[in-house]
Amino acid sequence: MTILQIARRRRAIYKTQFLKVSFSNHIEIIEKTTTLTQRLFYIHECAVNFWNKYTLRDCLKADLYNKRGSMPSNFAQTIPDKMQALKAIIAFKDEYLLDYINVEQLDEREKDLDERVLEQGIVANIKKFIMTFGSDFSFIGNQYRIEVAGEELFIDLLFFNRELNALVAIELKSGKFRPSYLGQLNTYLQALDEYVRKPHESPPIGIILCKEMNHTFVQFAVRDYTKPMGVATYRTTEEMPENWRKVLPDINELEKLL
């Protein structure tokens, strides 16, 4: 195929996707993006994932274009299939907005309680959480129990990603990232691989979702583990700058998502 043929094919794809996106979504994209590359990215996502304007606003607000693929991880080293590794890298961001968490209930002096409140907030708003992570995620359960050699393990949140064809275990941490979290998550992934994963599925992936992290340090800490793992942070609406809060959707619009 010549370069000219490739260019024509791409234009045809862009035109098809452009026509699939609603007028209101195009307005949102034009008003809240600055480059053609950004606009083509959001048009593609709207066309492929059937985003309505509320989902699109959430993704624009979360800066999905710049954040996707930036999570520190060992996916490239631990997932043998390079295409699968690339999909995993693209599937996750390094920061997520959890604007439905009641931060007034969080108390850093009681970390276990903080993490349970965080978990309960996510489970109570599971549809919103899945839209934050991506439409290909399906929720399996929280405090998912696995027994290994008479010992009980409990995974905070367990999902299945259709695009990756893999289980995704998420561990919630209320404070700053610690290297010991990776050891705990690695054990969970070993248990999922041994006792839960089906033969046709890809190896499970683990994500630490914490309050703070040092990107360079996390990349150093995770690189020698053999199970695919990554680390992301979260923030709530109350922690966003005031000028950011003003562009958030109205609460009534968010309720329509549910």
pLDDT at position 81, please? 84
* Rounded Cα gap, residues 184 and 230, in angstroms: 13
Q: How long, in residues, is the chain?
A: 258
Same-domain check for residues 74 and 28:
no
Q: pLDDT digit string (tens) for 96-127?
A: 887 666 544 444 445 555 677 778 878 777 77
Same-domain check for residues 80 and 142:
yes
Same-domain check for residues 37 and 77:
no
> What number is the average pLDDT over the span 69-83?
85
% pLDDT > 70, the chain: 78
> Which of 16-30, 54-68, 94-108, 144-158 is predicted with the least confidence, judged by mean pLDDT?
94-108
Query: In this structure, what DSSP letter does residue 176 have?
Result: B
pLDDT at position 54, please? 84
The mean pLDDT value of the chain amounts to: 80
> What number is the average pLDDT over the span 221-239?
87
- For 204, the token pair is 């499970």
Same-domain check for residues 3 and 111:
no
Same-domain check for residues 39 and 115:
no
Same-domain check for residues 206 and 98:
yes
In a domain, residue 58? The reply is no
Q: pLDDT digit string (tens) for 154-194?
A: 999 999 999 899 999 999 998 899 999 999 999 999 999 99
- pTM assigned to the model: 0.66
Same-domain check for residues 28 and 132:
no
Q: 6 pLDDT band (50/70/90 cuts)?
A: very low
Same-domain check for residues 46 and 103:
no
pLDDT at position 250, please? 46
pLDDT at position 68, please? 64
Q: pLDDT digit string (tens) for 89-101?
A: 888 888 888 766 6
Q: Which residues constitute the domain of residue 22?
A: 1-51
Count how many domains the chain has: 2
Helices (H) and strands (E) in the chain, counts: 13, 6
In a domain, residue 59? The reply is no
In a domain, residue 98? The reply is yes
Going edge to edge, which strands form the sheet with 95-97? 95-97, 229-235, 202-210, 166-172, 151-161, 137-148
* Rounded Cα gap, residues 227 and 130, in angstroms: 23
